[in-house]
Amino acid sequence: MIDTKKKAALCGILLIVVLCMPVTSFSAASWDETDVFMQTGVVFAPPLPVRQPAEFEPMEGVLIRYPFGISYQLIKEMAEDVTVVTIVGSTSQQNTVISQYQSNGIDLSHCTFLIAPTDSYWTRDYGPWFIFTGANEQGVVDFTYNRPRPNDNQIPLAYANNQSIPYYFMSLTHAGGNYMTDGQGISISTDLVWSENPGLSHEQIDQLMSDNLGVHTYHVVPDVNGEYIKHIDCWAKYLAPDVILIREVPSSHSQYTLIEAAVDYFESQISCYGTPYEVVRVYTPNNEPYTNSLILNNKVFVPIMGTSWDAAAIQSYQNAMPGYEILGFTGSWVSSDAIHCRTMGITDRHMLYIEHIPLRGNQSGQDGYEIQAKIYPYSGQPLVSMSTGVYWRTDLGSWNFIQMEPQGDDLYHAMIPLQENGTVVSYYIHAEDASDRTENHPYIGAADAHVFTAYGDVQQNTPPEIPQQPSGQTSGKVGAIYLYSTVTTDVDGDSVFYLWDWDDGNFSDWIGPFSSDETATAQHSWSVKGTYSIRVKAKDVYGKETDWSEPLAVTMPRNTFSRVLFFERLERLFPNIFLLFFGIFNRINAV
């Protein structure tokens, strides 16, 4: 064993050696992120809490690759609204693409280029995964691409460097086509992710997803298509936080039983809204790739095959996504490879984010119906308060507007007036900020507004019981991540959400939903030594909150070696050298 003083001395000597080496030796271009992990054991987890946006959230662009796997007509349509980022292998290729874009009438003012070598055009599978970190900024999370294509595997790092976006590496083998998320911590993949990571337990995979992507519920399900690729986007797609599209086939189809079993499974699962998923269908009798579509803001790009089933597929999307523009495009599509596989949405890094649990079903109230939302402008610009509020109407009447009032911690609320029993109320939240961004919840606004029915008195809904005192480690080290748990009972049997107060100025988001009596967990790290009293409260799906739980005292004593502050400063000053030094330090400290 090496004692603490010797460890510190050895690390100091090591740091001097590393800092004396040429900085060019540590350029990002000279490092493969997978190699760094393999050599040093470094896991580049982002600062908590982490949220990974969904595909149906605001997008600023789309990532494609030349030579193309999609038509110029599709590129032209995408470039009408967002920035098309084209990966090219050289300046010469860039000039060729510019000429082709001009010839095909593509708006060059909405086109940029990333010069980097690639092996294929499946940007969905190897492209960057976007997150928002606890520092309230966009980040890129990378993983090991599950194909032997080393150039493709470097694209997330190349894009992050090109855009000056913080970069994090997740030590997991994966592919973007086998992944979808609701933007609220629930994600779905087929069990391919298990078979491609044999060295990791299911629990370890879940922990990686939680640490790097903020995923608290990871549905890993059997593949239903019986094909080699086993990607979720070949048969299912999130259309909204509580809506999943799943392919449909005739009962004579060889995959019918497996597909219907998947439908039954998801209809029995609880969405982030605390309600069962709504599963909608698109008919694919001949294995048409209709689920392999791309959502870019208010447009949906659907692969069509030039057959009699195309019109019904377009209508299925229109029925499920009222207010969106549904556009069909032909191409060299096959059942396992279409538009979604060959494009990658780029999340708006300055999005105006609205988080809200809709009122659904029968709603009671004494003074009205409270609409509460978290609204956060990642642009850093203030909200336009006079234009941020709730639009509502009864039955099919005209829309009324109520300005939302701030409650602190980015929370806003408004009260829809009390209505007679049986009245159907529609509403949506609208927000604007000084960056000229406007957003709605639901995303499309009035065309697919939230709906509830006025019913009875507020006393008919009972809040959950006060959660149990948090349980977990009561002492630890600054900078380490610790897991805490609690549970509550809702006498009405409603699903519940939890809010954690970490007593360091940070609160979690509302985490859930969880079933009544289901243990809920959350994780946190403290950056300053001291004693903290953590507590938790709960609310049901109707917004009825409890008081705070009894606190749990957690002590973070002074470390024998102040790693956190030291490494934060090292990373800030020498971000590339940090990768090497931190890994070696961890190896020494483990001895």
For residues 63 and 41, is the Cβ–Cβ distance under 8 A? no
For residues 442 and 323, is the Cβ–Cβ distance under 8 A? no
Dihedral sign from CA coordinates of 166, 171, 173, 174? negative
Displacement of CA 425 from its chain's centroid (Å): 30
In three-state secondary structure terms, 320 is helix
What does the alpha-carbon distance between residue 77 and residue 301 come to, in Å, rounded to a whole number? 9
Q: Six-digit token pair at 342?
A: 């060959």
What does the alpha-carbon distance between residue 276 and residue 361 come to, in Å, rounded to a whole number? 12
Element (H, E) at 408: strand 405-408
Q: Give the other-Cβ count within 10 Å of 544's Cβ.
A: 18
Q: Tell me the catalytic residues.
A: 341
How far are the Cα atoms of 501, 525, 554 from residue 506, in angstroms, in the given order?
A: 7, 10, 15
How far are the Cα atoms of 171, 383, 579 from residue 576, in angstroms, in the given order?
A: 18, 37, 6
| Residue 458 DSSP symbol | G
Strands (E) in 419-529, as ranges, are 424-432, 438-441, 450-454, 471-472, 482-486, 496-501, 511-514, 520-524
What does the alpha-carbon distance between residue 203 and residue 481 come to, in Å, rounded to a whole number? 16
269 by Cβ neighbours in 10 Å (0-12 / 13-18 / 19+) ranks as middle
For residues 526 and 512, is the Cβ–Cβ distance under 8 A? no
Q: Which position has the token pair 């920035």?
A: 83
What does the alpha-carbon distance between residue 540 and residue 434 come to, in Å, rounded to a whole number? 34
